[in-house]
């Protein structure tokens, strides 16, 4: 195992293949649903490479990350150091460097025809059509040139047109800044990149914090970036594919539906439009896709948000040990916070800190240090035995939430916090967890007969 992240998509795919975790699909699977169907079936066990989908010259790959262990592996660290490694990369980011040429510019199409040039799959049943679902969108602050990296769903709306959902975060803010200057916002959509860069894009960091510097720190070396052919955005030189374009200011068009991480469809509505000016790619590029709402989609959102929310909480609360965004909470909405000996009332302050950390966080459960926060049954047990609703429940009405949560009114909804810690003044014996001495330490093989069938027969009799 290395102590650094895999540097590009091909290096990571090579590693998966060498360890028998990259399935090769038969050639010619359909881009409409069939590619996503196989990816979905194998999402918890294997990456999949699709040669010539629909006879397209460019192959598709899916399922780069199948579980938390794969994420750790992709960053070159043991799983128990994953959160710490990511936190360190956010605290000590490493700025990218610019190079004069990158393989991503091997081939440049100025005459753009997205569907002819790229194999864009259609994923879920009611999706409006083909979507670029795994593209890093890089945008520049129109005043300072500082770059932002994020992932947005990108509907193919025409030969050179993309419909895009911009939630109220950083790309949206840059687009508003550009609008005030009467300009389109220059952007690039980067497809086919290493896991570290994908994970870096999901950090919860302030506006004007270039997420690519997190990728640099995870790599242990600055990411090499190259200037786009038709605008001033800088993109990873070793990416497989880049679409260069502009978010238009005076045009909106229908986008959606699209199957999203909450396991529901993001609705069809008038949204931002991207004019694509060029498509650049390597010789023989590989197109990465993510099945909307699938394991890869959820996992990519989880770990980076956990690490950065943990940092935010630890800045205010020394009692906070760890956090987890559960899979059932779609790796975004439900947060478990583990604390050690909180001050009286502090668990509720921790909840409010977590709600403030990201608007997606909708439910916070605070538990003690003896609860395994990665085990949903343990968390439920803590709520069952340490929580009383009249005393330990916090509800905040009418706050900003996730627009993709169908129970909100246009993104406005409630927050719920549950303090499932043992009260500081509680009777110690009443909250002493039962345990059988020796059960955890015992090696059963040392005290179980390896072949006991004859002796068992002797004990139970042979009539039955």
List interacting residues with Mn ion (CB under 5 A): 148, 170
Which secondary structure element, helix H or strand E, spans residue 85, and what is its range? helix 82-91
Q: Which is nearer to Mn ion, 148 or 197 (CB)?
A: 148
Q: Name the minimum Å distance from CB 205 to Mn ion.
A: 6
Please give the Cα distance from 442 to 36 (Å, whole number). Answer: 45
CB-nearer residue toward Mn ion: 170 or 403: 170
CB nearer to Mn ion: give 21 or 170.
Answer: 170
The strand pair at 161-164 and 185-191 is best described as: unpaired
Looking at the Cβ atoms of 302 and 342, the one nearer to Mn ion is 302
Q: Could you give the 3-state DSSP secondary structure of residue 234?
A: strand
Which residue's Cβ has the minimum distance to Mn ion? Answer: 170
The CA distance from 168 to 399, in Å, is 14
| Angle formed at CA 25 by CA 22 and CA 28, multiple of 5 degrees | 145
- For residue 435, give every residue at least 6 positions away whose Cβ sits within 8 Å of its Cβ, in sequence order, or none: none
Q: Which helix (H) or strand (E) holds 309?
A: helix 295-316
CA 405/CA 266 separation, integer angstroms: 9
Of 170 and 281, which CB lies nearer to Mn ion in the complex structure? 170
Strand blocks (E) in 172-300: 185-191, 224-227, 234-236, 241-255, 258-259, 265-266, 269-281, 287-288
Cα atoms in the Cβ-side hemisphere of radius 13 Å centred on 441: 4
Rounded to a whole number of angstroms, the minimum distance from the CB of residue 170 to Mn ion is 4
With CA atoms as reference, report the closest residue to 166 among 181, 185, 180, 183: 185
Cβ distance to Mn ion smaller for residue 21 or 153: 153
Please confirm whether the linkage preceding 257 is cis (ω < 30° from 0). yes
Q: In angstroms, what is the minimal distance from the CB of 211 to Mn ion? A: 6
CB count in 10 Å sphere of residue 20: 8
Rounded-to-integer distance, Cα 123 and Cα 291, Å: 6
CB of 136 to Mn ion, least distance (A): 11
Nearer CB in complex with Mn ion: 29/215: 215
What is the smallest separation between the CB atom of 225 and Mn ion, expressed in angstroms?
16
> Could you tell me the smallest distance in angstroms from the CB atom of residue 149 to Mn ion?
7
When the beta carbons of 170 and 334 are compared against Mn ion, the nearer one is 170
Helix then strand count (H, E) for the chain reads 13, 23
Residue 225's closest CA among 238, 215, 211?
A: 238
Residue 37, token pair as written in the block: 């169907």
Nearer to Mn ion, 214 or 365 (CB): 214
């Amino acid at each position: 195992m290395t102590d650094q992240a895999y540097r590009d998509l091909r290096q990571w795919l090579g590693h998966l293949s060498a360890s028998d975790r990259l399935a090769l699909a038969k050639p010619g699977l359909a881009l409409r649903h069939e590619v996503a169907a196989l990816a979905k079936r194998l999402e918890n066990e294997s990456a999949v490479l699709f040669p010539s989908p629909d006879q397209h010259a460019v192959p598709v790959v899916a399922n780069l990350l199948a579980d938390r262990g794969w994420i750790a592996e992709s960053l070159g660290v043991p799983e128990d150091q994953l959160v710490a490694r990511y936190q360190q990369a956010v605290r000590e980011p490493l700025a990218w460097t610019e190079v004069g040429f990158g393989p991503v510019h091997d081939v440049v199409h100025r005459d753009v025809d997205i569907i002819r040039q790229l194999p864009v799959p259609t994923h879920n049943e009611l999706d409006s059509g083909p979507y670029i679902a795994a593209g890093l969108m890089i945008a520049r602050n129109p005043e300072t040139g500082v770059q932002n990296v994020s992932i947005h769903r990108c509907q193919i709306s025409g030969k050179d047109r993309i419909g895009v959902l911009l939630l109220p975060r950083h790309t949206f803010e840059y687009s508003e800044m550009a609008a005030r200057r009467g300009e389109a916002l220059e952007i690039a959509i980067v497809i086919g990149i290493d896991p570290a860069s994908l994970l870096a894009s999901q950090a919860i960091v302030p506006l004007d914090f270039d997420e690519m510097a997190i990728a640099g720190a995870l790599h242990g070396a600055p990411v090499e970036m190259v200037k786009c052919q038709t605008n001033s955005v800088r993109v990873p030189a070793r990416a497989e594919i880049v679409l260069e374009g502009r978010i238009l200011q005076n045009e909106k068009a229908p986008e959606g539906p699209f199957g999203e991480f909450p396991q529901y469809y993001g609705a069809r509505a008038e949204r931002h439009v991207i004019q694509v000016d060029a498509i650049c790619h390597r010789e023989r590029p590989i197109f990465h896709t993510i099945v909307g709402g699938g394991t890869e989609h959820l996992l990519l959102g989880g770990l980076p948000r956990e690490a950065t929310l943990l940092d935010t909480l630890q800045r205010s609360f020394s009692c906070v040990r760890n956090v987890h965004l559960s899979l059932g909470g779609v790796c975004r909405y439900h947060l478990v916070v583990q604390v050690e000996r909180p001050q009286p009332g502090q668990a509720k302050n921790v909840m409010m800190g977590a709600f403030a950390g990201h608007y997606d966080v909708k439910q916070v459960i605070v538990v003690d240090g003896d609860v395994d926060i990665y085990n949903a049954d343990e968390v439920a047990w803590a709520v069952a035995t340490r929580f009383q609703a009249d005393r330990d429940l916090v509800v905040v009405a009418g706050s900003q939430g996730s627009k993709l949560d169908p129970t909100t009114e246009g993104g406005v909804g409630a927050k719920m916090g549950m303090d499932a810690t043992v009260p500081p003044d509680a009777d110690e014996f009443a909250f002493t967890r039962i345990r059988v001495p020796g059960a955890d330490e015992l090696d059963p093989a040392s005290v179980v007969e390896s072949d006991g069938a004859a002796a068992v027969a002797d004990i139970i009799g042979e009539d039955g």
